[in-house]
């Protein structure tokens, strides 16, 4: 039997990269981070969803499951291309704290800059004289080709974005009925009225894909694969729900009949009310899961490996009546099960997918994950309940899994160790061999690397030994999430050397 190749990687959202413009992007700092990963003997860079963030700034509540986040477009590259002048970026307030993202300032200041770049480019609906030259015909042809290849989502997303902007950001469910329900005459009138705005949005998506694929190519050539992340659900206010209401449990007026969440448990007496619309799985089945196949295919254009969030929702999901204030009155309903993943494999071939199988798992969920063959996730922070022998303890791992010290939804490892109760800390300290409180995070990293798990992924904050000031997200809270950024120079050669040595000791890199 062939021996499983042991690998490792780092979890760092693109937004958390340092940059001059308030949020991480596909800039030189991203390329430098790839160099850091390669020097550290890593095989993977895991990121969070790349979609355009909506309310609450969460990448798991995006305005489109297909569109990319315009915040990630490298503005310096637009200066190099001649679409902007360096003076256009001088004095713009993107926030003053290098460790925090100010989303309000990003929203207020970045979109006008991107619109200016569009207007001064060969792709404008009415380009300036300097851009009409035949020298730009190849660029225009590439742009038109991009639009044509993405007709199944791009025109709808661009019109949705243009109308939404014109409506002051209001959710589409609050738009006038003619455009909300996509009546043909309204669609035609709005498309004509906002033609320039629509093309500007298409321009942003063109830039996003061009820049991201260039960065991904650079990473792949350095031996680094990208692990992307796909939320199971889409946001209620999204181009997906507006353009394809038939895919969801909506009534004839376009309102959800049920929404997603989690039932009450020991952590929440009223459960979790996420509010995402739920799929009309019977319709998806009738179409041969066409939308899902397109969605997954699009992911594998952008990533090498895909982590599917909330995997248990494909086995069964908690459906809550729309309008309820809590999740208490929901009910379990069956999901599509193995048939969906069998269809994806038949249509797309074997793909590298990670199942986010955290939380309470029923026997049927466990069977589904096993049947797909996808590796599940093991999180060290969940392991050290001193009252029981947990499946998250490394000595209980199967080889076919991905171990993390923590995820974007957890405390940092140092934060967890500082705050965990005394009994569990004592057990954890004995189990991983913590020698010093100051270096405790590295002891947990070492335990993850030493495990039999085929892959170990460590959040960058844990390598930097940061506390909960660097936490990415606290579930079920609003405000203060998704903001953390790595300081410039934190991804140092000294740190990559330390990571490389650890990777070598535990056979997780081909570098000797």
- Strand partners for 9: 44, 457
pLDDT of 66 higher than 80? yes
In the chain, pLDDT over 70 holds for what percent of residues? Answer: 98
Q: In what order do the strands lie in the sheet containing 316-321?
A: 272-277, 258-262, 316-321, 331-334
Length of the chain: 512
2/106: higher pLDDT? 106
pLDDT of 477 reads 83
Instruction: Specify whether 251 is catalytic.
Output: no
Which of 304, 356, 357, 411 does the annotation list as catalytic?
356
463 contacts: CB under 8 Å, gap ≥ 6: 10, 445, 495, 499
pLDDT of 500 higher than 90? yes
Instruction: Specify whether 356 is catalytic.
Output: yes
C-alpha to C-alpha distance for 467 and 452, rounded to whole angstroms: 27
Which of 35, 88, 309, 328 does the annotation list as catalytic?
309
pLDDT band at 511 (very low <50, low <70, confident <90, very high): low
pLDDT of 2 reads 55
pLDDT of 56 reads 86
C-alpha to C-alpha distance for 84 and 118, rounded to whole angstroms: 9
Residue in the structure block whose two tokens are 């002051």: 168
468 contacts: CB under 8 Å, gap ≥ 6: 411, 412, 414, 415, 418, 419
Does residue 375 contact residue 404 with C-beta atoms inside 8 Å?
Answer: no
Q: How large is the average pLDDT for residues 451-469?
A: 98
Among candidate residues 233, 230, 339, the one with its CA nearest the CA of residue 286? 339
**Mean pLDDT rounded to a whole number for the chain:** 95
Torsion of CA 443, 444, 449, 455, to 10 degrees: -160
pLDDT, tens digit (0-9, with 9 covering 90-100), for 29-65: 999 999 999 999 999 999 999 999 988 899 999 999 9
CA-to-CA dists, residue 26 to 47, 73, 178, 218, 284, angstroms? 13, 6, 39, 11, 35
pLDDT of 1 higher than 50? no
Which of 409, 418, 424, 468 does the annotation list as catalytic?
409
Q: How large is the average pLDDT for residues 213-235?
A: 97
CA-to-CA dists, residue 380 to 392, 444, 457, angstroms? 6, 8, 11
Instruction: Specify whether 309 is catalytic.
Output: yes
pLDDT of 90 reads 94
C-alpha to C-alpha distance for 158 and 143, rounded to whole angstroms: 14
C-alpha to C-alpha distance for 163 and 161, rounded to whole angstroms: 6
């Amino acid at each position: 039997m062939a021996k499983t190749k042991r690998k490792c990687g780092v979890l760092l959202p693109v937004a958390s990269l340092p940059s001059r413009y308030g949020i991480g992007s596909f800039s030189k700092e991203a390329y430098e981070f790839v160099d850091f990963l390669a020097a550290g003997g890593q095989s993977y860079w895991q990121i969070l969803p790349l979609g355009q963030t909506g309310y609450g700034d969460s990448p798991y509540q995006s305005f489109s499951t297909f569109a990319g986040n315009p915040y990630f477009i490298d503005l310096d590259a637009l200066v190099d291309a001649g679409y902007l002048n360096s003076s256009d970026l001088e004095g713009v307030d993107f926030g003053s704290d290098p460790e925090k993202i100010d989303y309000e300032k990003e929203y207020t200041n970045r979109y006008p800059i991107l619109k200016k770049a569009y207007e001064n480019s060969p792709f404008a609906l009415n380009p300036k004289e300097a851009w009409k030259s035949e020298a730009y015909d190849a660029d225009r042809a590439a742009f038109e080709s991009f639009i044509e290849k993405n007709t199944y989502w791009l025109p709808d997303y661009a019109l949705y974005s243009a109308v939404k902007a014109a409506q002051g950001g209001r959710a589409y469910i609050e738009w006038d009925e003619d455009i909300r329900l996509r009546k043909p005459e309204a669609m035609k009138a709005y498309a004509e009225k906002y033609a320039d705005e629509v093309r500007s949005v298409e321009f942003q998506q063109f830039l996003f894909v061009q820049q991201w694929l260039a960065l991904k190519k650079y990473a792949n050539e350095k031996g680094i694969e990208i692990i992307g992340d796909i939320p199971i659900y889409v946001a209620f206010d999204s181009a997906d729900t507006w353009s394809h209401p038939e895919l969801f449990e909506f009534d004839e007026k376009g309102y959800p009949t049920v929404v997603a969440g989690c039932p009450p448990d020991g952590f929440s007496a009223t459960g979790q009310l996420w509010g995402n619309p739920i799929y009309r799985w019977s319709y998806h089945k009738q179409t041969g899961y066409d939308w899902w196949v397109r969605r997954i295919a699009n992911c594998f254009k952008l990533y090498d490996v895909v982590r599917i969030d909330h995997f248990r929702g494909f086995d069964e999901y908690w459906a809550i009546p729309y309008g309820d204030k809590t999740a208490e009155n929901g009910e379990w309903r069956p999901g599509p099960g193995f048939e969906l993943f069998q269809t994806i494999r038949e249509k797309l071939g074997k793909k590298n997918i990670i199942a986010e199988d955290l939380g309470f798992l029923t026997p049927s969920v466990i069977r589904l994950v096993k049947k797909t063959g996808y590796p599940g996730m093991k999180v060290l922070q969940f392991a050290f309940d001193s009252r029981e022998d947990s499946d998250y303890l490394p000595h209980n791992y199967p080889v076919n899994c991905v171990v993390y010290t923590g995820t974007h939804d957890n405390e940092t490892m140092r934060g967890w160790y500082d705050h965990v109760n005394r009994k569990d800390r004592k057990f954890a300290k004995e189990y991983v061999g913590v020698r010093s409180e100051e270096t405790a995070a590295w002891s947990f990293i070492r335990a993850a690397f030493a495990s039999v798990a085929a892959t170990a992924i460590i959040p960058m904050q844990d390598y930097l030994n940061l506390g909960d000031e660097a936490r990415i997200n606290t579930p079920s809270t609003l405000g203060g999430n998704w903001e953390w950024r790595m300081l410039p120079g934190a991804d140092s050669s000294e740190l990559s050397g330390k990571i490389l040595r650890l990777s070598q000791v535990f056979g997780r890199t081909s570098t000797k």
